[in-house]
Chains A and B, each alone.
Chain A
Amino acid sequence: MHGLVAFDWHVIWLRVFHPNGVFARALWVTIYVSIISQVAGVALGLIAALMRMSQFPPFRWLSAIYVWIFRGTPVLVQLFFIYTAFNLPIINLGIWTIPSEALTAIVALSINEGAYMREIIRAGIDSIDKGQMEAAKSLGMSYGQAMRRIILPQAARVIIPPLGNEFNNMMKTTSLAYTIGLYELFADAEQGYSQTFLSEYFIAVAFWYLVLTTAWTFVQAWIERRLAASERADDLTFREQLIAAWNPVNAWARGAR
Chain B
Amino acid sequence: MSDVVMLAEDVHKSFGRLEVLKGVSLEVTKGETVCIIGPSGSGKTTFIRCINHLEKIGSGRVEVNGQLIGYRQRNGKLVEDSERNIARQRTQIGMVFQRFNLFPHKTALENVIEAPLQVLGLPKEHAVDKAKVLLGRVGLADKLDTYPGKLSGGQQQRVAIARALAMEPALMLFDEPTSALDPEVTGEVLSVMEELAHAGMTMIVVTHEMGFAREAADRVVMMDDGLIIEEGTPEHFFVAPEHERTKQFLSKIL
Q: Is the CB of A131 within 8 A of B105?
A: no
Report chain B residues within 8 Å CB of A141: 87, 115, 118-119
Contact with A along B78-92 (1 / 0, CB 8 A): 000001100110110
Q: Does A192 contact B (CB under 8 A)?
A: no
CA distance A154 to B118 in the complex (A): 18
Report chain B residues within 8 Å CB of A234: 145-146
* Closest chain A residue, CB of each to CB of B92: A140
Q: Is the CB of A140 within 8 A of B90?
A: yes
Report chain B residues within 8 Å CB of A231: 147, 149
Report chain A residues within 8 Å CB of B202: none
A interface secondary structure, majority: helix
Report chain B residues within 8 Å CB of A143: 83
Q: Is the CB of A132 within 8 A of B90?
A: no
CA distance A135 to B146 in the complex (A): 19
Report chain B residues within 8 Å CB of A145: 118-119
Shortest CB-to-CB span from B221 to chain A, Å, is 21
- In chain B between 136 and 177, which residues have their CB closer than 8 angstroms to a CB of chain A? 145-147, 149, 160, 163-164, 167
B101 touches which of A132, A140, A230 (Cβ 8 Å): A132
Chain A contact residue count (CB 8 A cutoff) = 24
* Closest chain B residue, CB of each to CB of A134: B54
Report chain A residues within 8 Å CB of B99: 129, 131
Shortest CB-to-CB span from A40 to chain B, Å, is 26
* Closest chain A residue, CB of each to CB of B49: A134
B90 touches which of A138, A149, A150, A154 (Cβ 8 Å): A138
B97 touches which of A131, A149, A153, A239 (Cβ 8 Å): A131
Report chain B residues within 8 Å CB of A132: 101, 103
CA distance A239 to B147 in the complex (A): 12
Q: Does A25 contact B (CB under 8 A)?
A: no
Given that A138-B95, A143-B83 are known contacts, is A237 also in contact with B110, CB under 8 Å in the complex? yes
B93 touches which of A138, A153, A230, A239 (Cβ 8 Å): A138
Shortest CB-to-CB span from A157 to chain B, Å, is 9
Q: Does A142 contact B (CB under 8 A)?
A: yes
Report chain A residues within 8 Å CB of B149: 231
* Closest chain A residue, CB of each to CB of B163: A139
Contact with B along A137-174 (1 / 0, CB 8 A): 11111110100011001100000000000000000000
* Closest chain A residue, CB of each to CB of B105: A238
A140 touches which of B87, B103, B147, B160 (Cβ 8 Å): B87
Given that A131-B99, A153-B105, A234-B145 are known contacts, is A142 also in contact with B87, CB under 8 Å in the complex? yes
* Closest chain A residue, CB of each to CB of B146: A234
Q: B97, B105, B114: which has the most chain A beta carbons within 10 Å?
A: B105
Report chain A residues within 8 Å CB of B43: none
Residue numbers of A with Cβ under 8 A of B are 129, 131-132, 134-143, 145, 149-150, 153-154, 230-231, 234, 237-239
Residue numbers of B with Cβ under 8 A of A are 52, 54, 83-84, 87-88, 90-91, 93-95, 97, 99, 101-107, 110, 114-115, 118-120, 145-147, 149, 160, 163-164, 167
**17 A–B contacts from the bound complex (CB under 8 Å):** A129-B101, A131-B99, A131-B101, A132-B103, A135-B95, A135-B97, A136-B103, A137-B87, A138-B52, A138-B54, A139-B115, A140-B90, A142-B83, A150-B114, A154-B103, A231-B149, A237-B107
